[in-house]
C-alpha cells in the first residue's frame, strides 16, 4: 500500500495517478463490516407478518433438521429460529391459533415470515387464501435452558385438547404441543418452572381444574 509520502510525489508528476492511488488508499483503510448473527428467540418474543403453507411435493422429503417432512403434522419453517422452537401462530383475520414446531428453513419469499405445514394451515383456516397475516409468539426456544412444566392431559382429538387449554388459560403458558404423527398426540402443557418443586406446586393448582396433572421435563 502506498504511503502519504508516495502520494505527495505522485501529485507533482502525475495528478491523475495520484487521484486513483488516493481512492485505493481510502478504500483499503476503511473499516471492515461484520455480519451479526441473529439472536436466538426467547419465550414470549413475538413477530408479525405474512404466513404461507407448503405440502406437496415436499411431503415425504427430508426437512432441514434431518427428519422427514409430514404435511399432516404440526410443524413449520422459519428462516432463523432454532429447530425445536415451539411457536404459537395466530391468524389475525379470524383469531384462530395453532402451535407448531420449527423443523425446516423458509419461506424464501420476500415479506413472508413462516411456512406452515398443511395441517397447521388448515387449523387456522388459511389453506384457501394461501397466505394470512399472523402473529408468532415463541412458547419455548431450543436454545433456552431446560425447564419443568405440567402436563394436564394428552389427547388424540385436538378439539378435546383445545377445550382443556381454554379451561386452563388463566395459568401462564397454557399451550398445546403436538407429538408424533399418524396419529398425532396433543399434549396440553401449562407453565414453566426452573425447579421440580415449583412445577409440583403448579400441578396441584392445575389438578383442581383438569383432574390430572403431572410434572415433566421440557
Cis before 107 (ω within 30):
yes
DSSP β-bridge partners for residue 14: none
CB 113 within 8 A of CB 47: yes
pLDDT tens per residue across all 218 residues of the chain: 444 444 444 445 455 444 444 444 444 444 433 333 446 688 899 999 999 999 998 999 888 888 889 999 999 999 888 888 999 999 999 999 999 999 898 897 888 999 999 999 999 999 999 999 999 999 987 655 567 889 999 898 999 999 999 999 888 888 988 876 666 788 899 988 877 788 888 999 999 888 888 888 76
* DSSP conformational letter for 128: T
**CATH architecture for the domain at 148-217:** 2-Layer Sandwich (3.30)
| Nearest Cα residue to 44 out of 77, 81, 88 | 88
Pairing assessment for the beta strands 112-117 and 75-77 based on DSSP bridges: antiparallel
Cis before 67 (ω within 30):
no
Pinpoint the residues of the chain covered by CATH 2.40.40.10. 46-140
Length of the chain in terms of residues written:
218
Cis before 183 (ω within 30):
yes
Q: Is domain 46-140 annotated with CATH 3.30.499.10?
A: no
At CA 154, angle to CA 82 and CA 133, rounded to 5? 45
What is this structure's pTM? 0.54
Amino acid at each position: 500500500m502506498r504511503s502519504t509520502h508516495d502520494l505527495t510525489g505522485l501529485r507533482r508528476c502525475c495528478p491523475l495517478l495520484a487521484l486513483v492511488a488516493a481512492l485505493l488508499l481510502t478504500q483499503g483503510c476503511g473499516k471492515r463490516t461484520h455480519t451479526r448473527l441473529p439472536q436466538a428467540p426467547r419465550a414470549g418474543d413475538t413477530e408479525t407478518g405474512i404466513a404461507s403453507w407448503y405440502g406437496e411435493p415436499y411431503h415425504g422429503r427430508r426437512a432441514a433438521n434431518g427428519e422427514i417432512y409430514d404435511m399432516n403434522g404440526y410443524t413449520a419453517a422459519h428462516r432463523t429460529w432454532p429447530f425445536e422452537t415451539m411457536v404459537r401462530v395466530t391468524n389475525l383475520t379470524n383469531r384462530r391459533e395453532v402451535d407448531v414446531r420449527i423443523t425446516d428453513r423458509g419461506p424464501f419469499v420476500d415479506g413472508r415470515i413462516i411456512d406452515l405445514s398443511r395441517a397447521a394451515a388448515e387449523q387456522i383456516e388459511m389453506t384457501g387464501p394461501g397466505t394470512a397475516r399472523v402473529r408468532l409468539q415463541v412458547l419455548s426456544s431450543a436454545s433456552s435452558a431446560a425447564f419443568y412444566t405440567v402436563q394436564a392431559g394428552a389427547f388424540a382429538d385436538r378439539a378435546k385438547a383445545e377445550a382443556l387449554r381454554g379451561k386452563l388459560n388463566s395459568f401462564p403458558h397454557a399451550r398445546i404441543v403436538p407429538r408424533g404423527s399418524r396419529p398425532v398426540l396433543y399434549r396440553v402443557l401449562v407453565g414453566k418452572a426452573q425447579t421440580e418443586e415449583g412445577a409440583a406446586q403448579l400441578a396441584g393448582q392445575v389438578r383442581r381444574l383438569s383432574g390430572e396433572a403431572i410434572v415433566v421435563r421440557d
